[in-house]
A = this chain, B = another copy of it.
Amino acid sequence: MDEELRGNLLVAQSGGPTTVINASLAGVVLEALNHDCIEEIYGGLNGVLGILSENLINLAEESQQVIRGLRQTPGAALGTCRHKLKQAQEFERVLEVFKAHNIRYFFYIGGNDSQDTANKIHHLAQEQNYELRVIGIPKTIDNDLPMTDHCPGYGSVIKYIATTVKEMALDHESIGNHDFVSILEVMGRNTGWIAAGASLAKSRGQPEDAPHLIYMPEVALSEEKFLQDVQSVLQKKPYCMVVVSEGVTDVSGNYLGASKQTDTFGHVTLGGVADYLSNLVQENLGIKARSAKLGINQRSAIHCSSQRDNDEAFICGAEAVKAAINGKSGQMIVLVRSSTDQYQTEVSLTPLSTVANEVKVFPQSWISEDRAGVAHQFFKYASPLIQGEVPIVYENGLPKFVKLKHYSVAKVLGSFVMAE
């Protein structure tokens, strides 16, 4: 499969945005320009939805400033979606669009659901003997993609959270004459990777630094233990700072504080646990408690994101193109950390089938003995991921972002009606 494959490239973004999802896009585009066998560089709008409806744009027409500025722009510049291709009819349509536009290189920047989609497209093309090279580019703030040491997007979200905790801690410390409990809710769904990242705010060897307690979904939370934990911190410190994952459950497996609402997929809307715990403290301990809920800002806060994360996301995009040029398909880019003391990563590939719908669990051995924090192995793992600051261009006091101009590619097929 090393022969040169001439044709067009299509890249799309899927799932929840991260601060570096556009860095990966920039990596794809800039690397693609180096290869003459790639004729056109197209972007699909809103993930597979844009492919189904033939909403493609020509990325090579965008100015160089815009492509460069993607690395300092949050959100998904191409638009994203949570649509999961299910019916054969939809997969057929994707291939039909690819054929109509002579797409020979397809890059999908996304999480596990999206890699599953990429895998199925890869197999369908093979079945139909349509030569197509499909490479997945990992993306998720949740860091729960398997096979890769860590996931682009993760370093930035935990840098923002650890910064926030470190700043809030100084505030709490300065008002600390009375007992005070501060509870910060972070994302991560059913894994504790993001909540764990808050621990980076602690100085090395300073266990008394905030955050004092971290609750992750990996450990069911008993309200009794929680209140004891808080009291125990307050015996030593005038304030207690708690970080809690939105996906924490009680011992019966029910989300704490989650709304009774479900979304269109039947998923419970997570969130509300910080308020819930805050009320618990006030009602049971009579101690002032205040909650904060970092919402979608944690995955869009590019003004406080990791340069290393941004660099790695960019490299993942560029390496995906190189792998495809070298004949690879049905693979996802992964980051492999060298075992030396100095942090170093190499890029490698893993079959999409090993990633699709799999989850990387937070190691139980990285949870501290008191079940309300993380062990030192986690520090060693996560600390390198937050290094460096992305330089942001400010205009009139606010970050300046770029916007793709959207040079539409002419449609050649009839419209496609999606089944509900």
A interface list, Cβ under 8 A from B = 13, 16-17, 46, 49, 73-83, 159, 162-164, 166-178, 182, 184, 200-201, 259, 261, 263-264, 269, 271-272, 274-275, 278-279, 282-283, 288, 290-297, 299-304, 306, 383, 386-389, 394, 396-399, 401
Contact = CB atoms under 8 A, between A and B. Distances in A.
Q: Which of A82, A288, A292 has the most CB of B within 10 A?
A: A292
Nearest to A49: B177
A304 B288 CA distance: 28
Contact of A303 (B167, B178, B295): B167
A269 B290 contact: yes
A296 B172 contact: yes
B295 A399 contact: no
**Copies per complex of this chain:** 2
A77 B164 contact: no
Given A75-B173, A398-B159, A300 B388 contact: no
A164 B295 CA distance: 10
A290 B296 CA distance: 8
19 contacts: A17-B170, A17-B174, A49-B177, A74-B170, A75-B167, A81-B175, A184-B297, A201-B398, A259-B278, A259-B279, A264-B288, A269-B288, A269-B290, A271-B275, A292-B296, A292-B297, A383-B397, A387-B396, A387-B397
Nearest to A82: B175
B296 A74 contact: no
Contact of A159 (B79, B169, B292, B397): B397
A174 B76 contact: yes
Nearest to A173: B75
B171 A74 contact: yes
A292 to B, nearest CB: 2
Given A175-B17, A269-B282, A182 B295 contact: yes
B271 A291 contact: yes
A354 to B, nearest CB: 27
Contact of A304 (B16, B174, B303): B303
